[in-house]
Amino acid sequence: MNTRSRKMLMSEATFPVVSERTRALVLGVNGQDGSYIADVLIKKGWFVIGVGRQSKSRWIDESSSGYSYHRLDLSDDRNFSAFLIEFMPSVIFHLAATHGPSGFNYEAHWRDAHAVNTLSVHAALEHLRCQAPNAVFVYASSSKVFRTSTGGVFTEFSPRESSCIYSTTKNAATDLINYYRHQHQLKASVVWTFNHESPRRLGNYFIPKLVNNLAHALVDRAYSDTIDSLAFWCDWGDARDYAAIIASIAAEAPGEDFIIASGKTLWAEDFVSMLYASHGLSYQNHLHVKNPVGTKRPNAFWADISLLRQRISVPQMRSIFEISDDILLTNHPHANAQSDQN
């Protein structure tokens, strides 16, 4: 790939010619990642089959040209297998997951976690092996499969380690993909996404909760709330950027695995302090931290995305400051107007 190709905009990425049989299946289309990938593909002229557990499509208009929404429970592997045979997608984007924010009780949802995060992957791989060996499969894993708390550099070749039920299911799915790829030559990819945010992120995650506090503080300077901790390192990116990248992986490097991250690591307290200061506030006046930041910081980690940049047309990524302001503008317009006046 030449220099221009590596730097060209995502809108210029080369996709297979759309035909009657060229269709993308997006599992988890009602989630943040699935909905943005559907947006990208629809704009590129793909026919998108969106799947979710809900009765209606949440983010994508069901009347949109080139889009069809279907309610399906992925934990029912027989129905899922029949669905795949009926629609025969050319590309499957597996973005569905049983997942929750920090502290989520996976033990209470272990059956669902294995069924959605792992067994549905196995069902899809079997479908490709038996029915569609030339189709492309892309699976979204997570940075949680790496022990980032130890610090250091993480690449596609870093050791994976299961530390919870969620990472166990993600690693099991990755092992299945590796097996089917090598044993049956399937075009299946794994992408390990580091933290990524957007206005569509559920409100119980760190960044939406933080921006919600900021929004209230902009309107009421006496407002305060509680947050668990600011003593951690994180790599935050934009879910829309990552969706475009994942779509390009299917087109430009099917069957290859990648880390997707911003490549920039921030200490949470530093980020929060700068974000509030950019709006004329001091976070200490509005956030009570349950677990105060200590004097000694652990070793930082770094996500190495050099392989991604070598193989995929990566756009200029938005920073977490831009993303947070976008969430403020989109989800808290009155507070954003107040910020503009200060």
Q: Are residues 183 and 42 in the same domain?
A: yes
CATH code of 271's domain:
3.90.25
Q: What is the pLDDT of residues 222-244, one digit of tens each?
A: 999 999 999 999 999 999 999 99
pLDDT band (50, 70, 90) for residue 12: very low
Residue 19, in any domain of the structure: yes
Residue 116, in any domain of the structure: yes
CA distance 258 to 273: 32
pLDDT band (50, 70, 90) for residue 342: low
pLDDT band (50, 70, 90) for residue 17: very low
Long-range contacts (CB closer than 8 Å, 24 or more residues apart) made by 47-53: 47/18, 47/22, 47/23, 48/23, 48/24, 49/23, 49/24, 49/25, 49/87, 49/89, 50/26, 51/25, 51/26, 51/27, 51/83, 51/96, 52/28, 52/96
CATH code of 179's domain:
3.40.50.720
CA distance 202 to 225: 18
Q: What is the pLDDT of residues 112-153, one digit of tens each?
A: 999 999 999 999 999 999 999 999 999 999 999 999 999 999
Q: Are residues 164 and 227 in the same domain?
A: no
Residue 312, in any domain of the structure: no
Q: What is the DSSP string of 142-183?
A: EGGGS-GGG-EEE-TTSPP---SHHHHHHHHHHHHHHHHHHH
Residue 309, in any domain of the structure: no
For the chain, how many structural domains are there in total? 2
Residue 27, in any domain of the structure: yes
Q: Are residues 19 and 131 in the same domain?
A: yes
Cα Rg of the chain (Å, integer):
20
Q: Are residues 132 and 269 in the same domain?
A: no
Q: Are residues 133 and 224 in the same domain?
A: no
Phi, psi for residue 245 in degrees, rounded to 5: -65, -45
Q: Are residues 184 and 283 in the same domain?
A: no
Q: Are residues 159 and 243 in the same domain?
A: yes
Q: Are residues 149 and 226 in the same domain?
A: no
Q: Are residues 192 and 270 in the same domain?
A: no
Q: Is 80 exceeded by the pLDDT of residue 30? A: yes
Q: Are residues 129 and 227 in the same domain?
A: no
Averaged over 298-326, what is the pLDDT? 95
For residue 32, what are its two tokens? 């943040």
Q: What is the pLDDT of residues 313-341, one digit of tens each?
A: 898 999 999 999 999 999 999 886 665 56
Residue 314, in any domain of the structure: no
Q: Are residues 256 and 326 in the same domain?
A: no
For residue 295, what are its two tokens? 């004097």
Show the domain range for 65. 3-197+238-260
Q: Are residues 228 and 286 in the same domain?
A: yes
Please give the pLDDT value at position 235.
Answer: 98
Please give the pLDDT value at position 294.
Answer: 73
Residue 134, in any domain of the structure: yes
Residue 311, in any domain of the structure: no
